[in-house]
Amino acid sequence: MRGRIIITGATGSMGAAATLALAGQGHSIVMACRNIVKAGTIRDSILVRVPDAEIDIKLLDLSSMDSVCEFVNDLGTEPIDALFNNAGTISRSYSITSDGLENTFAVNYFGPYLLTRLLVPRMREDARIVNMVSLTCRFVTVDENSLRPEPKDFSQLGTYARSKQALLRFSMEFSRRYPGICVNLADPGIVNSNMISMGRWFDPLADRLFRPFCKSPDKGVKPALNALSSSAKDRYFVGSHSKSIPARFLDPEMDLILWQETESILSSFIPRICN
């Protein structure tokens, strides 16, 4: 497959690695980023290595549902072949976005949810979606009350893990509703990126002890690249292979409850473009 691929968080460690790899394969890339200047620098460095790369940069702040809508409106009419929901954050402390959502959930779940829903009408029939999840998903449970955590429910890792499991459950419900689109999950493992800094006093120590054993971004993004080049669907890509979605996550009833609850929370944004 060659085509137009949207990569969120293309300024990040794995996002930039994916942009280089996919542009090098001849795809036309849309870098969907909140920092346009940083994106420009990355694009310039890729153009040195791949002079005929087709790379467009568009503003997208996933913590703002208005920004998601504006991004989609600004995208033009050219069909989309693939969406890589790669951007993510791990907020150190509890904070609320301008939409009244907890920040980690806004960036890792509500933003990608809305973006994906809004892009459906522009996707080719056999389009591919890859959602970046995390091995932390397996240590938490998620229900409809998880989507808007109160300060007392917040923890840096716990909220991050729940937002990623919510994204995983969204992927499965989406796949049931849009069977023509191939949705897959990618789990990069533990990767040496900004993401794994906890913003705590012990970071320098952890960096020395821990980072040397983490994967490089090039290696960490491989499962996602494998998923993007595969015509499989509903698979969990990890390491160099893919497997069925782990049984612990199979709960279609909860997937549906979360979908409906999310629609209700985002009801003022979804009718703008979605059917």
Ligand X SMILES: NC(=O)c1ccc[n+]([C@@H]2O[C@H](COP(=O)([O-])OP(=O)(O)OC[C@H]3O[C@@H](n4cnc5c(N)ncnc54)[C@H](OP(=O)(O)O)[C@@H]3O)[C@@H](O)[C@H]2O)c1
Determine which residue in the list 19, 86, 146, 175 makes contact with ligand X, applying CB under 6 A.
Answer: 86
Taking a C-beta distance cutoff of 8 angstroms, is the pair 150, 108 a contact? Answer: no
Determine which residue in the list 193, 226, 242, 262 makes contact with ligand X, applying CB under 6 A.
Answer: 193
Within the chain, where are the H helices?
13-24, 36-49, 65-73, 103-105, 111-119, 156-177, 203-210, 217-220, 222-228, 252-265
In 3D space, the residue among 176, 186, 164, 198 whose CA is nearest the CA of residue 245 turns out to be 186
- Is residue 190 involved in binding ligand X (CB under 6 A)? yes
Q: Which two tokens stand for residue 155?
A: 């923890």
The Cα–Cα gap between 106 and 146 comes to 12
- Is residue 102 involved in binding ligand X (CB under 6 A)? no
- Is residue 228 involved in binding ligand X (CB under 6 A)? no
Determine which residue in the list 162, 188, 242, 270 makes contact with ligand X, applying CB under 6 A.
Answer: 188
Q: Which stretch binds ligand X (CB under 6 A): 137-145, 174-182, 189-197, 234-242?
A: 189-197
CB of 87 to ligand X, least distance (A): 4
* Number of neighbouring beta carbons within 10 Å of residue 155: 11
What is the crossing angle of helices 36-49 and 13-24, to 10°? Answer: 40
CB of 196 to ligand X, least distance (A): 5
The Cα–Cα gap between 8 and 97 comes to 19
Q: Which stretch binds ligand X (CB under 6 A): 85-93, 140-148, 173-181, 251-259?
A: 85-93
Largest CA distance in the chain: 51
- Is residue 231 involved in binding ligand X (CB under 6 A)? no
C-alpha angle 91-185-214 in degrees, rounded to nearest 5: 60
Determine which residue in the list 4, 5, 12, 162 makes contact with ligand X, applying CB under 6 A.
Answer: 12
- Is residue 223 involved in binding ligand X (CB under 6 A)? no
Binding-site size, ligand X (CB under 6 A): 28
Residue type, 234: D
- Is residue 165 involved in binding ligand X (CB under 6 A)? no
- Is residue 89 involved in binding ligand X (CB under 6 A)? yes
In 3D space, the residue among 84, 82, 70, 73 whose CA is nearest the CA of residue 34 turns out to be 70
- Is residue 55 involved in binding ligand X (CB under 6 A)? no
CB of 271 to ligand X, least distance (A): 23
- Is residue 146 involved in binding ligand X (CB under 6 A)? no
- Is residue 35 involved in binding ligand X (CB under 6 A)? yes
Binding site for ligand X (CB under 6 A): 9, 11-15, 34-35, 38, 60-63, 86-89, 107, 132, 134, 188, 190-191, 193-196, 217
